[in-house]
């Protein structure tokens, strides 16, 4: 019982903070980003090693269930020496196993860790590109420092913390969050909160087929989608993942993150920009989920002039990539039934320099829903952002067991900016999150609107959502700003003006009386010291 209490007191954030603190004080630990990459590589080794150990133990139990002795040399050779696992577990070489690393003497740890990385990359092609070989010998931390960090990372395990959901994700979230706090807004919203990803996935339901993210960051969109698929249907092998990431370190992180979960993926052979070198050109996907960098500048070069992605809509402005992302995403959606959910800054809803492109998108019936999200959902910005949903098939039919109606020439507008009642504690700045119940409520509004039996002409709740015809949007100059369409009640009309005026007048009388009393006391005080005041 006492042991259980000790385990409950283990604090994951405290362990990770201690690792950061050790690295901060250590010599040769490098820049913030190099420290981050070193820690994430260690965590990767820890978890891929623990997953291997768990896989071997499960295999032992399976062998014994067949009446065999796993310690028999012949049985061991047959089942364990070149073990194959069916759940995404990797069969690690001896020098790459965590049991080898944790028992290595401190003076030899830097070399042992790099040997482990080399062995992993050499033994499985799927793990190439997840890390930089030579990471630890390049930094060459003092034996005492690297040993202390490895010992701290060793504490992070399911055995210590229990089988809570997505322990690995919590570790990654900690470091991604720290990176996001230090990133500039122009570098993009690197860290996408889990609740926002869950909202997109719950709405578009990427349950099977191909899923693409053109700016995939750490792979969060894929991870959350896989969790949703597992919760709904239990078979993540039904989703085929494609992605691209421009930043080299983030590309490696995405590969680590997906490998740790055993998710098959296609992120290209290297990191690169989706605009200048589309690694998946010519491919079309069932689902696209993305959180592109907000208002990205410097995205365009002359090689993209006349690009097929915007030949039908016009070239997006060079000053801002928002509509370049929209058209890139649209170019990769399956023409008959592709669905996309992605985030953009609110300015994209009514920018004057993108009006012609927006008009064509609406006229071609590509936009299905526009959902404004609450402020302060993100760590790196407190602006309100918009979830766009594009749909290549608004004609209706069967979709994931639901019977959809014809929604041609309709767009659903939702405004969730008032959903700010859930504060996130322990943050340096104000932050809120969407609860599971709120996410499901938003998805229900959207799915009900899609479904047979719903009257799109009268589908609305003031201050929350409304279904709008294309003709009305045209009459509003092709703007997609929800407040132009959703009814907002003038709550001033509910005020009892005589009563309110009486309250204000009473407050003013009290203020004036207090002021007169203060002046009287001041005069008396000055008279007491020999000054006369009139």
Residue 132 CA to residue 130 CA, distance in Å, equals 7
* Cβ–Cβ < 8 Å for 255, 130: yes
Would you state the structure tokens that stand for residue 179, as one six-digit string?
Answer: 């990176």
Please, where in the chain does CATH 3.40.50.150 lie?
Answer: 179-484
**Cα atoms in the Cβ-side hemisphere of radius 13 Å centred on 478:** 17
Contact of 354 with 361, CB cutoff 8 Å = no
Per-residue pLDDT of the chain (534 residues; tens, 9 = 90+): 444 433 334 577 788 888 888 988 888 777 777 887 888 889 889 988 888 888 888 888 888 898 888 888 888 777 877 777 766 688 888 999 999 999 999 999 999 999 999 999 888 887 878 888 888 999 899 999 999 999 999 988 766 665 444 555 567 667 656 655 444 433 444 568 889 999 999 999 998 899 999 999 888 888 888 878 777 766 777 789 999 999 888 888 888 888 877 788 899 989 999 999 999 999 999 999 999 988 888 899 888 988 999 999 999 999 999 999 999 999 999 999 999 999 999 999 999 999 999 999 999 999 999 999 998 888 767 777 999 999 999 999 999 889 999 999 999 999 999 999 998 876 666 789 999 999 999 999 999 999 999 999 999 999 999 999 999 999 999 999 999 999 887 655 555 656 756 765 676 677 677 767 767 766 666 566 555 544
* Phi-psi domain of 6 (left: phi exceeds 0; alpha: psi -120 through 50; beta: other): alpha
CA distance readout (Å), 250 to 244, 258, 445: 10, 12, 35
Q: What is the pLDDT of residue 289?
A: 97
Which tokens hold the place of 447? 């799915």
Q: Are 394 and 406 in contact (CB under 8 A)?
A: yes
Query: In this structure, what are the phi and psi dihedrals at residue 115, rounded to the nearest 5 degrees?
Result: -60, -40
**Could you tell me if 486 and 463 are in contact, meaning their C-beta atoms sit under 8 angstroms apart?**
yes
Cα Rg for the chain, rounded, in angstroms? 29
Check if CATH label 3.20.20.80 holds for domain 2-163: no
pLDDT at 188: 42
Could you give the 3-state DSSP secondary structure of residue 247?
coil
- 531: which 2 tokens? 């000054």
Q: Which residues of 216-228 are buried (b: 16+ CB within 10 A; e: fewer)?
A: bbbbbbbbbbbbb
DSSP 8-state symbol, 333: B
Residues of the chain with CATH 1.20.1260.30: 2-163
3-state secondary structure of 414: strand
Pairing of strands 367-372, 385-391: antiparallel
Closest alpha carbon to 139 in 174, 113, 172? 113
Per this entry, what is the length of the chain?
A: 534
Q: Is the dihedral of CA 515, 518, 524, 530 positive or negative?
A: negative
Say whether 144 sits in a helix, a strand or coil: helix
Strand-pair partners of 507: none
Name the nearest CA neighbour of 420 among 432, 406, 411: 432
Strand runs labelled E in 107-236: 209-213
User: Hey, is 190 helix, strand or coil?
Assistant: coil
CATH of 179-484, one of 3.10.20.600, 3.30.300.350, 3.40.50.150, 3.40.190.10: 3.40.50.150
Residues in Cβ contact with 143 at an 8 Å cutoff, skipping those fewer than 6 apart: 106, 107, 109
Cα 98 to Cα 117: distance, rounded to the nearest angstrom = 12
Distance CA 479, CA 460 (A): 19
């Amino acid at each position: 019982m006492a042991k259980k209490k000790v385990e409950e007191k283990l604090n994951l954030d405290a362990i990770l903070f201690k690792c950061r603190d050790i690295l901060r004080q250590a010599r040769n630990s490098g820049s913030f980003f190099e420290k981050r990459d070193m820690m994430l590589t260690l965590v990767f080794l820890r978890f891929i090693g623990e997953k291997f150990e768990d896989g071997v133990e499960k295999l032992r139990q399976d062998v014994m269930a067949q009446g065999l002795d796993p310690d028999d040399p012949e049985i061991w050779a047959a089942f364990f020496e070149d073990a194959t696992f069916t759940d995404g577990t990797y069969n690690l070489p001896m020098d790459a196993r965590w049991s080898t690393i944790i028992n290595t003497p401190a003076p030899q740890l830097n070399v042992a860790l790099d040997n482990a990385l080399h062995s992993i990359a050499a033994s499985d092609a799927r793990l190439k590109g997840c890390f930089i070989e030579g990471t630890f010998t390049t930094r060459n931390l003092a034996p005492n420092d690297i040993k202390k960090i490895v010992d701290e990372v060793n504490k992070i395990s399911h055995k210590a913390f229990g089988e809570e959901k997505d322990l690995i994700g919590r570790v990654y979230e900690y470091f991604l969050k720290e990176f996001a706090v230090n990133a500039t807004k122009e570098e993009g919203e690197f860290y996408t909160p889990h609740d926002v990803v869950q909202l997109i996935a719950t709405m578009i339901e990427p349950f099977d087929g191909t899923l693409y993210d053109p700016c995939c960051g750490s792979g969060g969109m894929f991870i959350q989608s896989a969790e949703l698929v597992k919760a709904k249907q239990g078979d993540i092998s039904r989703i085929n993942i494609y992605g691209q990431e421009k930043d080299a370190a983030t590309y490696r992180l995405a590969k680590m993150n997906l490998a740790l979960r055993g998710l098959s993926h296609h992120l290209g052979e290297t990191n690169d920009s989706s605009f200048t070198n589309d690694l998946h050109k010519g491919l079309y996907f069932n689902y696209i989920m993305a959180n592109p960098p907000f208002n990205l500048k410097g995205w365009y070069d002359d090689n993209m002039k006349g690009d097929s992605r915007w030949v039908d809509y016009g070239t997006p402005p060079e000053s801002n990539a928002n509509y370049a992302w929209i058209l890139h995403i649209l170019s990769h959606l399956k023409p008959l039934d592709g669905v996309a959910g992605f985030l953009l800054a609110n300015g994209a809803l009514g920018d004057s320099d993108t009006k012609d492109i927006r008009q064509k998108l609406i006229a071609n019936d590509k936009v299905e829903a526009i959902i404004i999200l609450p402020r302060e959902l993100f760590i790196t910005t407190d602006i309100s952002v918009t979830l766009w949903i594009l749909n290549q098939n608004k004609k209706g039919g069967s979709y994931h067991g639901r019977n959809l109606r014809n929604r041609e020439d309709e767009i659903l507008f939702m405004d969730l900016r008032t959903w700010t009642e859930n504060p996130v504690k322990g943050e340096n700045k104000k932050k809120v999150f969407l609860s599971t119940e709120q996410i499901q409520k938003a998805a229900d509004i959207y799915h009900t609107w899609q479904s047979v039996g719903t009257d799109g002409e009268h589908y609305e709740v003031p201050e929350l959502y409304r279904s709008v015809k294309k003709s009305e949007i045209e009459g509003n100059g092709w703007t997609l700003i929800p407040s132009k369409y959703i009814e907002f009640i003038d709550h001033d009309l509910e005020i009892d003006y005589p009563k309110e005026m009486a309250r204000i007048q009473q407050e003013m009388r009290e203020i004036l009386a207090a002021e007169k009393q203060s002046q009287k006391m001041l005069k008396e005080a000055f008279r007491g010291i020999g000054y006369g005041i009139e």
